[in-house]
Structure 1
Amino acid sequence: MGNKRVDEPTGTEFVGHEWDGIEELNTPLPRWWLWTFYATVVWALGYVILFPAWPLIEKGTEGVLGWTSRGQLAEEMAVADQARATVREEIAQVPLERLSEDAPLMQQAVAGGRAAFQIHCIQCHGSGAAGNQELGYPNLNDDDWLWGGDIRAIEYTLTHGIRQSGDSETRFSAMPSFDGILAPQEVSAVVDHVRSLSGLGEPDARGAELFEQNCAACHGPAGKGSRQFGAPNLSDAIWLRGSSREAITSQILNPRMGMMPKWEGRLDPVTISMLAAYVHSLGGGEDFIEVAEDPEVEVDEQP
């Protein structure tokens, strides 16, 4: 003790080290820090004993409690799967057109359809379902429908697709090319008439006459379209491939007709129903109309 040097201002011993005239004081750690450190040591020992901690050659130590994060995840996934299975069973038991009558179940169906849409449909329709006019993928947010916008019609389109070979019930239509059928001046007149239907130009009498002769059979005399043929409404200012003179001329002379895969066989019926519910909920979905049994009313079996 006699050899220990003490710092006079603080009364603390020096440790005996010196660097360039600077000496270190032997200042003890605060007691609260020491007790905290001891507590963490005890906690660490307990954790090593109770939980998986040390990696070994083939697997880690399991701990006396037998808990693992993988096991916990598996349990949580099993619970979630059971919950989804229950909802899917409920959706399967409700007629699709009656699904909206059960608001909570409809919300579950829309949520499931949104998840399926993000996996299977955004490649063409986009993550926001706004489509792509350049490529001819329709916008699913508006209220313009080629084949019908009620939830049953949407389900039918999802199930059988558009222009799918090998499916006798697929949606199918074809627009003929008028290249060589109409002279350039006549094509120009038809373009003027088509654009005028949605207020994009002045009416053209010759174009209206040619439209009646060549186009009205599918698009209707007023250009309102026909869902029986998947012919678009030309008077609503909603365009699948563009409203410019160039775009319309191209479609008349070299018509492009899109395709959509059939999801029957690739997705289960409940997932298709949930997709239909989601698409229907985007803003343009139409009410399902049940036609009463009336011998004077013709019901198209294909929605």
Structure 2
Amino acid sequence: MADKHIDEISGVETTGHEWDGIRELNNPMPRWWVYTFYATILWGIGYAIAYPSWPLLTEATKGVLGYSSRAEVSAELAAARAAQAGNMERIASRTVEEIIADPQLQQFAIAAGASAFKVNCAQCHGSGAAGAEGFPNLNDDDWLWGGDPEALYQTIAHGVRHAGDDETRISEMPSFTDMLTQDELRQTAAYVVSLTSAPSDAALVEPGKQLFADNCASCHGVDATGSREFGAPNLADAIWLKGSGEQAIIEQMKAPKHGVMPAWLPRIGDSTVKQLAVFVHSLGGGE
């Protein structure tokens, strides 16, 4: 066995490791560190005995304390359901308007509806309900089918153009390609734009107004403020769902875009639909 190497400066034995002429001193660890290390080993052994820790083929060791995080969560969920049971029964037996009239029940429904909205509605309407491209903003007061509590319930429950639901909202704008020439489409678009801003050519507005009265007023109204009976939008408020500007209006007249909203009643149940209606109504745009 080779003689142990002693560092000339410190007089301490080295470990025998050397790298690029540098040797490692074989200094013992401080006692407090060693004792702490031993304590962590003892603590780990005690924890493994007291709590579930060692995985087996189909489960883990139970631990002498019998603790289970799953059982704890299940108990907390059961307690939460028991606390909610009374409110859920009241929601199930009342209309949306009656829920809103009860401040305590309204607050509960808003909180529950906000959670349901994030799970079921935020994908299209956004987490803040401000809408995405082609999907309506639920914070403003522009409603195709009405923004009162019962109207909101009807729309959420039965959807819009949802196949298989006889009570779904139905509206369909026809294509005007075969009815109007390209020049007439431009004139109509110029008139619609003139209701909220300046058109590209003011000379097109007057003939466009007549074309609008002949072809569009039956759904959108003589004053272009829309009709909820047909789900026809208000064209005089500068709020646009499918795109604004003359070219976007022309494209909508040529190839109308028809959105679809699912019927949520069979998916999430009557009580959750009511909670969603109360929540959406509370956003500020509800009537």
State TM-score, norm by structure 2.
0.81
| 2:210 counterpart of 1:209 | yes
Structure 2 CA distance, aligned partners of 1:18 and 1:266? 72
What RMSD in Å do the two structures reach over aligned CA positions? 3.2
SS of 2:193's partner is helix
Structure 2 CA distance, aligned partners of 1:269 and 1:211? 41
Tell me the equivalent position of 2:75.
Answer: 75
Structure 2 CA distance, aligned partners of 1:88 and 1:228? 33
The share of aligned pairs that are identical, in percent, is 48
Q: Aligned AA for 1:246? A: Q
Q: Aligned AA for 2:152? A: I
Tell me the equivalent position of 2:116.
Answer: 116
Structure 1 CA distance, aligned partners of 2:264 and 2:250? 33
C-alpha displacement of 1:226: 0.6
Aligned length: 274
> Quick one: structure 1 residues 151 and 34, their matched pair in 2 at CA, closer, same or farther if it must change by over 3 Å?
same
Structure 2 CA distance, aligned partners of 1:106 and 1:127? 21
> Quick one: structure 1 residues 23 and 251, their matched pair in 2 at CA, closer, same or farther if it must change by over 3 Å?
closer
Q: Cα deviations across residues 221-257 of structure 1 (Å, max 9, x unaligned)?
A: 1111010110100101101111211110111222222
SS of 2:266's partner is coil
2:146 to 142, 145, 148: 148
1:194 to 192, 199, 210: 192
Q: Cα deviations across residues 71-109 of structure 1 (Å, max 9, x unaligned)?
A: 222222222333344432232233211323333432322
Q: Cα deviations across residues 14-60 of structure 1 (Å, max 9, x unaligned)?
A: 8998989x997987955x66776676566555434432233344433
SS of 2:151's partner is helix
Tell me the equivalent position of 1:301.
Answer: none
State TM-score, norm by structure 1.
0.77
C-alpha displacement of 1:141: 2.0
> Quick one: structure 1 residues 175 and 23, their matched pair in 2 at CA, closer, same or farther if it must change by over 3 Å?
closer
Tell me the equivalent position of 1:103.
Answer: 103
Tell me the equivalent position of 1:248.
Answer: 249
SS of 2:153's partner is helix
Q: How does 1:233-272 map to 2 (within 5 A)?
A: 233-272=234-273
Q: Cα deviations across residues 247-289 of structure 1 (Å, max 9, x unaligned)?
A: 1011122222222111121111011111112222222111xxx
Q: Cα deviations across residues 152-204 of structure 1 (Å, max 9, x unaligned)?
A: 10110111111223322211122222212222222222111111112343582
Structure 1 CA distance, aligned partners of 2:17 and 2:115? 67
| Structure 1 spans left out of the alignment, 5+ residues | 1-13, 287-303
